[in-house]
């Protein structure tokens, strides 16, 4: 288990934290937490404001995963919280002989995934993964598990651990100091569990999560 930033090749964006902090209400959060059209392709105040494919997002990152975990050409990869499947789509192009699966709570996102990856995606909840033990060489879950209440976060992490044969990598909403906590509170739309990095590590240890991890930090 290690803290490692495998998203360091993901494009960095300057987030309008103050502006969003002044505008979003519990009503916006309520809409976002349905993870429907409004979250992915609606207004910026209720989500992404347009969740579209572009190779700049994931192509370099899937290579990063493949190199870091030394993935074989015929490996198997699961993405928990795969949204429209864009990361797996780029994985599929990079490792065409590999096996892929994605799961997401959002029927809207799955329905709007690229046709070539859609047959490998399903609607479901991270807290009950519909796969046998040790099914995948690598299980990835980016900015997803923290959308559950804390006890369900623990179950989701245990599920990730259970279906992983070798490796797992998760990212969580987190902070390291008061400033980052304040910024995260302003930016957060959907997370139900946000913890200090040390609290996340304690939680990983408590439930026996042995995979790798990194943080979604707002600075
Ligand atoms: C911030 S988005 C991240 C999407 C993608 N992993 C990425 O990095 O672009 C969070 C995703 O988690 C999904 N999600 C939220 N709660 C979930 C749950 N309990 N089980 C599975 N997916 C969930 C949402 O529908 C959404 O696609």
Quick one: pLDDT at residue 24? 95
Distance of CA 102 from the midpoint of ligand 1 (Å) = 11
Residue 54 reports pLDDT greater than 90: yes
Q: How many angstroms is it from 80 CA to the middle of ligand 1?
A: 7
Whether the per-residue pLDDT at 134 is higher than 90: the answer is yes
Token pair recorded at residue 109: 């996102």
pLDDT band at 1 (very low <50, low <70, confident <90, very high): confident
CA distance 125 to 81: 8
Q: How confident is the model at residue 108 (pLDDT cuts 50, 70, 90)?
A: very high
Pairwise CA distance, residues 144 & 127, whole Å = 11
First to last CA, the chain: 25
Q: Per the structure block, which two tokens stand in for 201?
A: 């590590």
Taking 90 as the threshold, does the pLDDT of residue 13 lie above it?
no
* Coil, helix or strand at residue 216: strand
Token couple for 143: 């900015």
Strands (E), the chain: 76-80, 99-104, 121-123, 136-142, 164-175, 195-196, 212-216
What pLDDT is attached to residue 87?
A: 98
Q: How far apart are CA 188 and CA 24, in angstroms?
A: 9
Q: What pTM was computed for the model?
A: 0.98
The two tokens of residue 103 are: 């799961």
Count the Cβ atoms, other than its own, within 10 Å of residue 11: 11
Mutate to test the pocket of ligand 1, among 38, 86, 105, 218 (most ligand atoms within 8 A of CB): 105
- Give the percent of the chain with pLDDT over 70: 100
How many angstroms separate the alpha carbon of residue 98 from the centre of ligand 1?
A: 23
Q: How far is CA 203 from the centre of its chain?
A: 18
Tens of pLDDT, residue by residue over 158-212, are 999 999 999 999 999 999 999 999 999 999 999 999 999 999 999 999 999 999 9
Q: How far is the CA of 1 from the centre of ligand 1 (A)?
A: 23
Average pLDDT over residues 115-120: 98
State yes or no: pLDDT of 122 exceeds 90. Answer: yes
What are the chain's domains? 17-216 (3.40.50.150)
The per-residue pLDDT of the chain, averaged, comes to: 97
Contacts 24+ apart (CB under 8 A), 9-14: 9/60, 9/61, 9/63, 9/64, 10/57, 10/58, 10/60, 10/61, 11/56, 11/57
Backbone angles phi, psi at 123, to 5 degrees: -85, 130
Q: What 3-state class would DSSP assign to 80? A: strand
- Measured CA to CA, the distance from residue 66 to residue 72 in angstroms comes to 8
């Amino acid at each position: 288990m290690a803290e490692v930033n495998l998203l360091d090749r993901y494009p960095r964006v300057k987030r309008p934290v103050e502006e969003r902090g002044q505008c979003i209400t519990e009503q916006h959060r309520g809409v976002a937490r349905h993870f429907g059209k409004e979250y992915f392709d609606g207004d910026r105040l209720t989500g992404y404001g347009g969740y579209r494919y572009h190779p700049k997002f994931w192509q370099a990152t899937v290579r990063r995963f493949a190199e870091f975990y030394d993935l074989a050409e015929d490996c198997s990869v699961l993405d928990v919280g795969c949204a429209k499947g864009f990361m797996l789509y780029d994985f599929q192009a990079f490792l065409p002989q590999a096996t892929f699966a994605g799961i997401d709570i959002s029927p809207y996102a799955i329905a709007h995934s690229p046709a070539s990856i859609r047959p490998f995606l399903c609607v479901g909840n991270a807290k009950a993964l519909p796969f046998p033990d040790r099914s995948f060489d690598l299980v990835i879950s980016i900015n997803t598990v923290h959308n559950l209440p804390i006890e369900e976060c623990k179950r989701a992490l245990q599920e990730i651990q259970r279906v992983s044969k070798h490796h797992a990598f998760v990212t969580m909403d987190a902070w390291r100091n008061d400033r980052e906590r304040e910024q995260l509170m302003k930016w957060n739309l959907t997370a139900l569990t946000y913890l200090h990095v040390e609290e996340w590590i304690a939680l990983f240890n408590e439930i026996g999560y042995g995979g790798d991890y990194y943080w979604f930090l707002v600075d």
